[in-house]
């Protein structure tokens, strides 16, 4: 069965928070919205009615082609009537190849090419190669051999992959170098779907810190235009953290497996039925059974009831995760949830080791405040970003606590000390030391902090001659500092030379616009405290950096539309600055590097070079009128 070109999988980005994303992609049998889960359906056993699962929000599922193929009656029926008819589901269906069975029971009796061809022939929307399963116990050499053999098998079915969606699993055991290599190899192949394999043993053993290494290494080295799937990762306890690290899709049979053992899934863990006194009000079982009645059901009936509860718990957690991404509060959610189990807390600490990596994909600002809980929050991507900004400015001295106000720096400090000194000053956001010029920029004033100035903090005292001439002007230094942060070193003085006019609000005392003889250069955004460029400012930056920094070059066709205010779409980007961070202002230029518009980037430079569908830049100012 071939598929139409437009049904080849490619991710469309809708909402984001760092590496976490709400997206969508199309399959021959419909759209899948991410993050999402594919419940595992045993083709021989139906635990829950399909309609019950659909009502919970099931959009797609996964079943095992190996089981179907080795069951003669089922094989005959599926070849005759098609996979969707046999399963009884008209939405997207992914099929597994039997790799896990080969790991558990030894070699399977089918070959890779025949296995993939069978899946395509029965109408699978996403077929999986017969990859080599690696476990945490494999040696580096064994895992390496599995990585390259799996890639060879992907190449083996490249002809089929030209007209079908094929999943190419990322293997490599617990070795980050091999996971990196596997992700790169699969991203360069014709695999349109990238599952992370070989992780079930780690999930079962709560080895979440190692999973952080595996997921993040795999994600960062994968093509962002392809969905990343965590095989077997469907427990609500870990799903939020996995999505935070960039996982789009899950599959799981846990809803049935736990039900067989009389265990119930909850967002923070698993509980034994025998310990349950009250069924939670959110459970679909709440209005049908008391805990005592549930325990007294016959085995098969009880298993079905518990499976329904468990699957509902999974979909409820996914709904919460998606809503958190829309609000841009997933980081806070995962940070809070990490404190529910030591293994999760260790994994969250492990994420902090990768903050410098995640920071590259972290938005300039978010809709939500920055939550500062404790010293661990200092190691977040925003903490790392501020540290990087501060380190680029040389030596800093601490402002005395008396000058640090909840609403910003005391004007006495600015007038009496800052403007009479040439020193670099910093003040605390929790335990993050922030350059004075960032006092109104995200995340400083847009934060909720348990303790803004730790009791151990002692700033420095300064002796200055207030009668001496003022050596600098704080608003000018501030906008120059922010311009250097947003658009590269040297941008501040180029945009804002001596003599520019800085308009300050009489009501708030905050900077509003900056002007020169040609008009407004930039405005100060109220919601995040950063600069928004006009076309005049954009042209200054383009000339200063030769059209390289913060540049998005588009096709001539796109430039025509962008020049009148239409958004830039990923598929029309020819080249872009790889250091672009999401939500910062960017320059949109045509093939001749002429500035046609200035807008807000919705993705990082790396993502802009890989996504092929969706909006990349929202235009704020443009060169032509409609």
- Annotate 83-148 with DSSP letters as a single string: HHHHHT--S-EEEE-SHHHHHHHS--SS-HHHHHHHHHHTT-SBEE-------TTS-HHHHHHHHH
100: its two tokens: 């896990």
- What is the sign, positive or negative, of the torsion defined by CA atoms of 26, 32, 33, 38? negative
- Cα separation of the two ends of the chain: 46
Residues 6+ apart with CB under 8 A from 95: 62, 63, 64, 65, 68, 83, 119, 122, 124, 126, 127, 128
Residues 6+ apart with CB under 8 A from 76: none
- Annotate 240-272 with DSSP letters as a single string: HHHHHTT--EEEE-HHHHHHHTTEEEETTEEEE
| DSSP 8-state symbol, 496 | S
Give yes or no: 121 in active site.
Answer: no
Which phi-psi region, left, alpha or beta, contains residue 7 (left: φ > 0; alpha: ψ -120 to 50)? alpha
Marked catalytic residue, from 33, 90, 96, 125? 96
Question: How far is residue 445's CA from residue 510's CA, in Å, rounded to a whole number?
Answer: 13
- The counts of H helices and E strands in the chain are 25, 30
Question: How far is residue 317's CA from residue 80's CA, in Å, rounded to a whole number?
Answer: 38
Residues 6+ apart with CB under 8 A from 391: none
* 345 backbone dihedrals φ, ψ, rounded to 5°: -65, -40
3-state secondary structure of 314: helix
Active site residues: 96
């Amino acid at each position: 069965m071939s598929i139409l070109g437009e049904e080849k999988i490619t991710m469309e980005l809708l909402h984001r928070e760092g590496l976490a994303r709400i997206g969508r992609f199309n399959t021959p049998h419909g759209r899948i919205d991410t993050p999402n889960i594919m419940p595992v359906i045993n083709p021989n056993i139906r635990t829950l009615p399909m309609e019950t699962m659909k009502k919970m929000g099931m959009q797609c599922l996964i079943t095992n082609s190996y089981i179907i193929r080795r069951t003669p009656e089922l094989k005959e029926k599926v070849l005759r009537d098609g996979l969707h008819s046999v399963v009884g589901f008209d939405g997207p269906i992914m099929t597994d190849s039997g790799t896990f069975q080969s790991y558990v029971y030894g070699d399977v009796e089918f070959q890779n090419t025949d296995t993939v061809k069978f899946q395509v022939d029965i109408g699978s929307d996403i077929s999986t190669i017969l990859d080599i399963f690696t476990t945490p116990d494999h040696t580096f050499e064994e895992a390496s051999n599995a990585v390259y053999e799996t890639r060879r098998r992907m190449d083996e079915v490249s002809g089929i992959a030209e007209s079908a969606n094929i999943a190419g699993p990322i293997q490599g055991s617990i070795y980050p170098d091999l996971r990196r290599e596997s992700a790169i190899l699969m991203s360069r192949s014709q695999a349109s779907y990238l599952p992370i394999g070989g992780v079930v043993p780690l999930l079962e053993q709560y080895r979440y810190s190692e999973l952080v290494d595996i997921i993040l290494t795999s994600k960062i080295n994968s093509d962002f235009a392809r969905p990343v799937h965590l095989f077997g990762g469907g427990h609500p306890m870990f799903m939020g953290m996995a999505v935070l690290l960039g996982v789009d899709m899950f599959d799981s049979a846990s809803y049935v497996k736990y039900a067989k053992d009389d265990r119930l899934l909850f967002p923070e863990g698993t509980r034994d039925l025998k310990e349950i006194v009250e069924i939670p009000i959110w459970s679909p079982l709440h209005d049908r059974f008391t805990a005592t009645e549930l325990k007294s059901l016959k085995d098969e009936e009880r298993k079905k009831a518990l499976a329904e509860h468990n699957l509902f718990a999974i979909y409820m957690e996914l709904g919460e995760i998606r809503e958190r991404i829309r609000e841009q509060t997933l980081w806070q959610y995962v940070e809070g949830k990490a404190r529910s189990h030591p293994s999760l807390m260790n994994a969250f600490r492990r994420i902090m080791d990768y903050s410098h990596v995640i920071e590259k994909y972290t938005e300039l600002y978010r809709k939500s405040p920055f939550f500062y809980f404790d010293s661990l929050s200092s190691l977040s991507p925003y903490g790392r970003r501020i540290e990087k900004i501060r380190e680029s400015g040389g030596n800093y001295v601490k402002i005395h606590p008396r000058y640090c106000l909840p609403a910003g720096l005391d004007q006495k400090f600015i007038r009496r000390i800052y403007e009479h000194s040439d020193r670099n000053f910093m003040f605390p956001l929790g335990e993050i030391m922030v350059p004075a010029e960032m006092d109104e920029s995200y995340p400083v004033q847009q934060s909720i902090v348990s303790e803004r100035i730790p009791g151990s903090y002692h700033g420095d005292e300064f002796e200055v001659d207030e009668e001496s001439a003022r050596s600098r002007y704080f608003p000018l230094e501030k906008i120059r500092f922010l311009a250097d942060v947003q658009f590269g070193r040297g941008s501040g003085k180029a945009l804002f030379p001596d003599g520019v006019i800085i308009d300050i609000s009489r009501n708030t005392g905050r900077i509003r616009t900056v002007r020169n003889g040609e008009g407004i250069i930039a405005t100060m955004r109220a919601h995040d405290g950063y600069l928004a460029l006009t076309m005049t400012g954009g042209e200054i930056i383009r000339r200063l950096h030769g059209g390289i920094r913060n540049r998005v070059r588009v096709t001539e066709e796109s430039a025509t539309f962008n020049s009148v205010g239409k958004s830039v779409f990923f598929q029309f980007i020819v080249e872009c600055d790889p250091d672009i961070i999401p939500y910062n202002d960017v320059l949109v230029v045509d093939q001749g590097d002429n500035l046609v518009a200035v807008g807000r980037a919705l993705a990082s430079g790396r993502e802009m070079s890989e996504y092929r569908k969706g909006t990349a830049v929202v235009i704020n100012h443009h060169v032509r009128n409609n």
